Structures are given as structure tokens and as C-alpha cells.
Structure 1
Amino acid sequence: MVFFSETFGIRSLQTPARQLLELLFDYSIENRPILFHVFSNGGAMLYRYIMEVLHTHKSFKNLRVAGTIFDSAPGRRNLRGGLRALETVLASMNMLLKYFLLFTFASTAVVLRILLYPLTRSIHESHYDALLKAPSRWPELYLYSQADLIIKASEVQLMADARQQLGVPVKAVDFSDSPHVSHMRVYPTYYCNLCMTFLSDCVGGSPS
């Protein structure tokens, strides 16, 4: 879904986004504060649709979202980073099939996201642009790294700055040398302290 259907402009992650929110009611925890912890661009894509559902469906409008943590996200669509991410996902797959899928993804991305971008952007807004102007105003914590080879640090910084200008309480932490979604592995104590402090501040302030 992340690498192919979404690249074609098919909003395939809408259904999982709604199902995830429905689980809150299934487990009878819909009245508790909710903290989203979003990993990489795949998580950011799903979160984009979660935002849409939260703000367009009456049954979800009363959910108490306290804040969102972004780990190594979000980033704009870049072919090199996307290929690295897909190669990681396909690491255990048959070599021939892996390279076929990589080639297919690269070809599709070049055509739809580069050559035809002026047309496709009017049909399917990028996840990055959608998150830039998301209507949510609860606190956001961005955890990223200059050493990330998949998501550019400058794009995370741009997102954090843009959200802050909209009045969103934002904190951004650059881990400098930890790889993509590996900040907790490299700095476990620091990472956990950041997340726990953020959670405590969000729940204590009861933001909406």
C-alpha cells in the first residue's frame, strides 16, 4: 500500500486508518487521552488519513487526542529514500523478485511523481503537503537525525517550523548521528525520557 497503491494515487490506507480508530471503541478506551507515535513515512501516510477521519466523521470528533510523536518523519517523496526504504522491506525476498519490484516502484515514481507531478498533485495531494496544513492543533514532537538516509532532516525541520507558525506547540530534536528509525536503539535513555516527558506534558495540559 505504502509503496505502490499510494504512489498510483489510490487512497488504500484510508480503510486501515478508520479501522485503527474503531479499535479504540472495541477496547472501550475511547474516553482516554490518545497519543500517536508515528514512524517513518509509512506511518505518516496512515496518520494523514487518521487526521482526515478525525475531522470529518462525527463518531470520532470527540476522541481526546493529546499529541503526536513523529519518529523519522515526515518527509517529501524522494526517489532515493523511497528505494532505500523499499529495499530494506524486501531484504529477505527472492533477489529477482526484489529487483523487479524496485524497478517497478522507481519507474512508477518517476512517471507519476516527477514527470506528471503538475497533473497528479491536483488529483492526489501529497501526504507531506496534507500534513503541513492539517487542522490539528495538539502538541507535536519531531525526532529526527541528520544521518537519516531515507528521510531528510531538512524536510522534518521544515514541517516542524511550518506547524509552529500555525500555532501548534512543537518540539524538534535532532539526534545527529542515529540512522533512520534507530534513535531509540542508539540513545535509549534519552529517547525514552523525551517521549515520557512529552506524554506527561500533553496529558497534564489536556490539549484538544
Structure 2
Amino acid sequence: MIFFSETFGIRSLQTQAKRLLELVFDYKIENRPVLFHVFSNGGFMLYRYITEMLHTDKPFKNLKVAGAVFDSAPGRRNLIGALRALATVLVSTNVFLKYFLLLAFATTAVLLRILLYPLTSFIHESHYDALLNAPSRWPELYLYSQADAIIKASDVKHMADTRQQLGVSVKAVDFLDSAHVSHMRAYPTYYRNLCTTFLSDCLRASPH
């Protein structure tokens, strides 16, 4: 879904996002503050559809979102990073199938997300662009690294800066040398402290 359906503009993760929100109501925690902890671009894509539903679908509008943490996300139109991510997913796949899928993804991404981007953006806005100006205003914490080989630190910084200019309470922390989605492994105490402090701040600021 992440590498092929979404690249073709098929909103396949939208169904998963709705199921996730429905679970919140199934567990009857919709009246409690909810914090999203989002990992990598796959989680960010899912989060994009969640935020859209929270603002457009009546059943979900009353969900009390306290804040959102983004770990190693978001990135935009980074073909090399996307190929590295897909190669990681396919690490145990037959070698011929692996390289066929990598080639197919690269060809599709170059065509639809780079060469034809001015046209395809009108049909299916990229997840990155959609969330740059998202209507959500709850606090956001961005955890990223200059050493991330999949998500560019400059992409995360641009998102954080743009959201802050819109009036969102934003904090961005650069771990400098930790790998993709490995900041907690490299700095467990620091990572936990950042998240728990952010959560505490969100709950204090929440009017609910």
C-alpha cells in the first residue's frame, strides 16, 4: 500500500485510518486525550488520512487529540530514501522479485512523483504537501537525525518550521547521528524524557 498503491494515487491507507479511529471508539476512549506517535513515512501517510477524517467525518470530530510525535518523518520526493526503505522491507524476498519490485517502484515514482508531479498533484496531493497546511493545531514534536539515510533532515525541518509559522506549538529535536527510526535505540533515556515531557505539556495545555 505504502510503496505502490499510494504512489499511484490510490488512497488505500484511508481504509486503515478509518479502522484505527473506529478502534478508539470501540475501546471507549474517545473522551480521553489521544496522542499520536507516528513512525517513518508509512505512519505519516496513515496520519494524513486520520487528520482529514478528524476534520471532515462527523463521528470523529469530537476526538480529543492532545498532540502528535513524529519519529523519522516526514520526507518528500526522496527517491533514494524510498528505495532504501523498500529494500529493507524486501530484505527476505527472492532476489529476482526484490529487484523487479525495486525497478517497478523506481520507474513509477520517477514518472508520477517527479516528472509528472505538476499534473498528478492536482489528482492526488502528496502526503507531505497535504499536511504542511493541515487544519490541525495541536502541539507537534519532531524527532529526526542528520544521519537518517531514508528521510532527509531538511524535509523534517521544513515541515516543522512551516507548521510553527501557522501558529502550531512545535518542537524539533535533531539526534544528529542516529539511524532511521533508531533514535530511541541510540539515546533511550533522552528519547523517553522528550516524549514524556511533551505528553505532560500537551495534557497541561489541553482544555479537555
What is the TM-score normalised by the length of structure 2? 0.98
Q: Is the 8 A contact 2:145 2:176 kept in 1?
A: yes
CA contact (8 A) 2:141 2:170 kept: yes
Contact map agreement 1:139 1:207 (CA 8 A) in 2: no
The 5-angstrom pairing of residues 129-148 of structure 1 reads 129-148=129-148
Work out the CA distance in 1 between the residues paired with 2:207 and 2:105.
40
Cα RMSD, aligned residues only: 0.9
Report the alpha carbon displacement of residue 207 of structure 1 after superposing the two structures with TM: 5.3
Structure 2 residue 104 is matched with structure 1 residue 110: no
Q: Which amino acid aligns with 1:41?
A: N
Alignment-derived partner of residue 8 in structure 1: 8
After TM superposition, the structure 1 = structure 2 runs for residues 94-173 of structure 1, keeping only pairs within 5 Å, are 94-173=94-173
Q: Equivalents in 2 of 1:32, 1:94: separation in Å?
A: 46
Aligned residues of 1:5 and 1:12 also touching (Cα < 8 A): yes
- How many Å apart are 1:203 and its aligned residue? 1.0
Q: How does 1:1-208 map to 2 (within 5 A)?
A: 1-206=1-206
CA distances 1:122-151 after superposition (whole Å, capped 9, x unpaired): 111010000100100000000000000100
Q: CA shift at 1:77, angstroms?
A: 2.0
Local SS of the residue matching 1:55: helix
Unaligned runs of 5+ in 2: none
Superposition misfits of 4+ residues, deviation over 4 angstroms: none
Distance in 1 between residues matched to 2:166 and 2:4, nearest whole Å: 32
Letter in 2 for 1:130: A
How high is the sequence identity, in percent, across the aligned residues? 79
Asked if structure 2 preserves the Cα contact closer than 8 Å seen for 1:138 and 1:207, the reply is no
Higher mean displacement: 169-178 or 93-102 = 93-102
1:80-121 C-alpha deviation (Å, 9 max, x unpaired): 000000000111111111111101100101111112111101
SS, match of residue 8 in structure 2: coil
Q: Name the aligned partner's letter for residue 88 of structure 1.
A: T
2: CA distance, partners of 1:202 / 1:113: 36
AA at the equivalent of 2:3: F
- CA deviations 1:164-206 (Å, max 9, x no partner) are 0000000000000000000000000000000000011111221
1:153 counterpart letter in structure 2: A
- Structure 2 counterpart SS, 1:38: strand
Contact persistence 2:77–2:114 (CA under 8 A): no
Q: TM-score, normalised by structure 1?
A: 0.98
SS at the partner of 1:47? helix
